[in-house]
């Protein structure tokens, strides 16, 4: 479960405000300053020396280089190049002999100046998403000293739960130490999926003239790194004037089969998260959230497909059919509006209500590509 392949190597995560990334040399001085701050280290046994802090950062850097994930350094573009770390870490019996190990933990440590801004919660949610969707983890835990209410509130905000029967004495702290008693929080994949779907609501937003501009801007950014892309196309509802929807920028990218995994690595370096549960051998699916002039943050989907695959033909064919048939476009818009209201949070119902239009388009796609 924890063996990493090429598709998860050196992943960077992006949220509305943050970038979780690999460590850099110029992070060390700021990290050492943070680890020497008694406020930051209040619930740790001691502050760290410059040498201890540097060694810790190097270990975190090496683990990310080896497996593609770990305690990521955190930047806030336009605000600060480095504010601390957030991420995932494997804990086994050799480094923590406790009743719940081996396990994968989620954690964070931020400089004092960046407390109280929601950064820990925002970054931790991205790390949870990566852990459950990309690494396919069955459970993620988090633990801290009983008195550390600030961190415990973050654990609760991201959906984790605490059972007092899981509390434990930290084996690396001596008997009687004020920080020895720890609490354990847990979240399993099933619970996370339930929480995630409860928060999702299907909506029908009107088409915006900004959509083509957003696509072109992102296409240029992707093209500069993905040199072997054979085609990069705007698909989905935001590619069709006058068709509303959820406002997601869907992008289809065609490559030859041999370039699928390499392209996946590049897209992850650009901030996209690979979603294996929604992918097939011929189509890799990715999502990302980027800053947006209208909504603050907008979701982007990438459908990385093999050239001339069934998936590519369907993505392009569906778009072209609606562009060429105004009556079908109006019918589909009406279906989407009805589905958004009726389905609310039920993804299966939402897709089922739109299915008649997909079936109608199949003959057009077949005719288009059989020519």
Q: In sequence order, which ranges of the chain are alpha helices (DSSP H)?
A: 28-35, 50-67, 119-129, 149-157, 189-199, 211-225, 260-269, 310-324, 326-343, 347-370
- pLDDT at residue number 201: 58
Q: Look at residues 149, 169, 199 and tell me which one is the last residue of a structural domain.
A: 199
Cα–Cα dist 300/247, whole Å = 9
66 lies in the same domain as 171: yes
Is 2 a residue whose pLDDT tops 50? no
Cα–Cα dist 332/124, whole Å = 38
Q: Look at residues 179, 199, 219 and tell me which one is the last residue of a structural domain.
A: 199
Directed axis angle between helix 211-225 and helix 260-269, to 10°?
110
Cα of first residue to Cα of last residue in the chain, in angstroms, is: 45
Directed axis angle between helix 310-324 and helix 347-370, to 10°?
90
120 lies in the same domain as 241: no
221 lies in the same domain as 319: yes
44 lies in the same domain as 193: yes
Reported as a pLDDT band with limits 50, 70 and 90, residue 1 is very low
Q: Look at residues 199, 229, 256 and tell me which one is the last residue of a structural domain.
A: 199
CB within 8 A of 244, min separation 6: which ones?
204, 205, 206, 207, 237, 333, 336, 337
- % of the chain residues with pLDDT over 70: 91
40 lies in the same domain as 178: yes
- pLDDT at residue number 66: 93
Q: Do the domain assignments include residue 206?
A: no
255 lies in the same domain as 321: yes
Q: Do the domain assignments include residue 1?
A: no
Please write the tens of the pLDDT for every residue from 173-214: 999 999 999 999 999 998 888 777 555 556 778 899 999 999
Q: Do the domain assignments include residue 204?
A: no
User: How many domains in the chain?
Assistant: 2
Q: 347 is in which domain, residue-wise?
A: 211-370
- Domain containing residue 14: CATH number: 3.40.630.30
- Domain containing residue 286: CATH number: 3.30.460.10
Please write the tens of the pLDDT for every residue from 258-285: 999 999 999 988 888 787 777 888 899 9
């Amino acid at each position: 479960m924890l063996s990493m392949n090429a598709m998860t190597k050196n992943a960077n995560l992006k949220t509305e405000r943050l970038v979780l990334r690999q460590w850099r040399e110029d992070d060390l001085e700021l990290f050492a300053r943070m680890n020497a701050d008694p406020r930051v280290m209040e619930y740790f046994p001691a502050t760290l020396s410059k040498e201890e802090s540097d060694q810790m950062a190097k270990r975190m850097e090496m683990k990310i280089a080896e497996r593609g994930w770990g305690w990521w350094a955190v930047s806030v573009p336009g605000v600060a190049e480095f504010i601390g770390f957030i991420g995932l870490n494997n804990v086994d019996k050799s480094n923590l002999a406790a009743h719940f190990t081996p396990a994968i933990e989620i954690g964070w440590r931020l400089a004092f100046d960046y407390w109280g801004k929601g950064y820990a919660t925002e970054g931790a949610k991205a790390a949870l998403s990566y852990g459950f969707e990309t690494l396919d983890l069955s459970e993620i835990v988090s633990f801290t000293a009983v008195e550390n209410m600030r961190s415990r509130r973050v654990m609760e905000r991201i959906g984790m739960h605490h059972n007092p029967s899981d509390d434990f004495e930290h084996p690396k702290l001596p008997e009687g130490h004020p920080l020895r008693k720890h609490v354990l929080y847990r979240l399993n994949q099933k619970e996370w999926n339930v929480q995630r779907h409860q928060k999702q609501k299907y909506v029908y937003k009107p088409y915006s003239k900004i959509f083509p501009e957003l696509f072109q801007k992102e296409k240029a950014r992707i093209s500069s790194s993905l040199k072997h892309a054979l085609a990069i196309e705007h698909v989905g509802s935001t590619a069709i004037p006058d068709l509303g929807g959820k406002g997601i920028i869907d992008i289809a990218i065609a490559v030859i089969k041999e370039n699928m995994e390499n392209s996946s690595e590049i897209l992850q370096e650009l901030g996209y998260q690979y979603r294996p549960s929604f992918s097939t051998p011929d189509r890799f699916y990715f999502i990302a959230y980027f800053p947006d002039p209208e909504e603050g943050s907008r979701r982007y989907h990438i459908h990385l497909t093999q050239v001339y695959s069934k998936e590519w033909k369907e993505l392009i064919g569906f778009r072209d059919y609606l562009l060429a048939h105004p009556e079908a476009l109006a019918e589909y818009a009406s279906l989407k509006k009805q589905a958004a209201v009726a389905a609310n949070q039920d993804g299966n119902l939402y897709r089922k209500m739109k299915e008649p239009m997909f079936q109608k388009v199949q003959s057009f796609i077949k005719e288009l590509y059989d020519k």
